[in-house]
Amino acid sequence: METNEIVEQEKDFGFARVYAVELKYKQLPKLDRNMLYEKMELYTGKVDRGEHHPDAAGLAVWEANNQEDQNLLHFFHLNYMVEFTEGEMPAQTSLMDTESRPDTDYETAIQQSWHWQEAAQVVNDCEHSLLLIDMMASGLDPKSRLQLFTGSLRAVLETAPCDAIYFRESDKLVEPSAYLAAIEEGQLLYGALNIRFYNVEGTGSDRPEGLMDSLGLAALGIPDVQCHYYDLEPDEVAGNLLNIAYYLFDRGDVIADGETIGFTEEMRWRCEHQYGLAAPHRAVIDIDPGEPYYAGRQGAEQS
């Protein structure tokens, strides 16, 4: 398959070749590079180079100073090797200064910040930003890729604590201490996955209608999930979607069209691959909670 065909397929799926997170600061961040390198090595691991070099680190660093206050740090993670046609290459992450964007650029994330009520005010107060991205890492399996990125992000957060974290691929703002606590508890998707809720109006129905979906899995190569429903409690739907999302992240895209999933004896929600009803364009597994609750159109052509 030609490279441009692969890129188009990934774009259609919603896959992110480059994964990106913004760290937002009220004050200009100061990086202790030695501490950062130690943390980065701690959280992204060492490589066993054999009995002759048992303590060799699985990390190489390239750094460049563009100006006195401009930093670019590029990390080669030697224990996360990716197979390419030309041979193996280490997955990489880069940390750089980036222009701080206006808070209006985060409007959709702020609207869905049910988990952090102060997000809008904090983002408004932030005048500085760092950008962390991965490169040459899209060939890793989703778990390994997110584990590497999470370790890298944790290293930066513990070296230069920020005031807000913005996950571009999940369009999610998170409070840094809450994020670190969640990661410590093994919630690897805490920032990488956003469970969104929309009230649906103007359809002519007099029943409470909602659309709930996840955003962030497709960027890693796994379908997101969505449920378009009547009369269900949003908290219940959110909990089920979160459980399904973690199941998919753990097992991969293993649910076939027409199969049902449930976490209780009564729950038998039918699954079907579709495209998301809410932007951005990406692959999702549409969840049908059955009559009389389903408000979607499984099997119908999606725009």
User: Do 23 and 132 form a contact (C-beta atoms < 8 A)?
Assistant: yes
Dump pLDDT digits (tens) for 199-208.
Answer: 887 666 678 7
Tell me the two tokens of residue 299: 């099997």
Which of 184, 213, 248 is the last residue in one of the domains? 184
Q: Which residue among 161, 184, 207 closes a domain?
A: 184
Single out the residue in 134, 159, 184 at which a domain terminates.
184
Q: CA-based Rg of the chain, rounded to a whole angstrom?
A: 21
Whether residue 130 is found in the same domain as residue 8: yes
DSSP 173-194: EE-HHHHHHHHHTT-TTTTT-E
Proportion of the chain above pLDDT 70, given as a percent? 88
pLDDT at 191 > cutoff 90 = yes
Which residue segment(s) compose the domain that 128 sits in? 3-184
Task: State whether 81 and 201 are in the same domain.
Answer: no
**Is residue 296 one of the residues assigned to a domain?**
no
Model pLDDT, residue 144: 96
Task: Compute CA 116 distance to the chain's CA centroid, rounded to the nearest angstrom.
Answer: 17
What residues contact 217, with CB distance under 8 A and at least 6 apart? 193, 223, 224, 225, 245, 248, 249
46 falls within a domain: yes
> Which tops the pLDDT comparison, 262 or 278?
278
Q: How far apart are CA 156 and CA 161, in angstroms?
A: 7
pLDDT attached to residue 61: 76
Residue 202 lies in a domain: yes
Whether 136 and 14 share a structural domain? yes
Average pLDDT over residues 32-39: 91
Going by C-alpha positions, the residue among 144, 154, 145 that lies closest to residue 180 is 154
Number of domains in the chain: 2
pLDDT confidence of residue 52: 37
Whether 86 and 139 share a structural domain: yes
Task: Tell me whether residue 302 is in a domain.
Answer: no
- Strands (E) in the chain, as ranges, are 20-25, 59-67, 70-84, 87-98, 128-135, 164-167, 172-174, 194-199, 209-215, 224-230, 260-261, 269-275, 283-288
pLDDT for position 49:
37
- 34 with 132, same domain: the answer is yes
Q: Do residues 217 and 135 both lie within one domain?
A: no
Strands of 209-215's sheet in order across:
194-199, 209-215, 224-230, 283-288, 269-275, 260-261
Number of neighbouring beta carbons within 10 Å of residue 264 = 7
Domain assignment present for 14 = yes
Is 120 contained in some domain?
A: yes
pLDDT of residue 62: 74
Same domain, 57 and 178: yes
Distances (CA, A) of 275 to 88, 147, 209, 279, 303: 34, 27, 19, 10, 8
In a domain, 219, yes or no: yes
Q: Is the pLDDT score of 15 beyond 80?
A: yes
Q: Is residue 297 domain-resident?
A: no
226 and 167 in a single domain? The answer is no
Instruction: Write down the pTM of the prediction.
Output: 0.89
Instruction: Reply yes or no on whether the pLDDT at 153 is more than 70.
Output: yes
Q: Are residues 140 and 253 in the same domain?
A: no
Instruction: Please report the sign of the dihedral spanned by the C-alpha atoms of residue 129, residue 130, residue 135, residue 139.
Output: negative
Same domain, 69 and 166: yes
Strands 260-261, 70-84: pairing is unpaired
Q: Are residues 13 and 154 in the same domain?
A: yes
Do 168 and 244 reside in the same domain of the chain?
Answer: no
Mean pLDDT score across all residues of the chain: 88
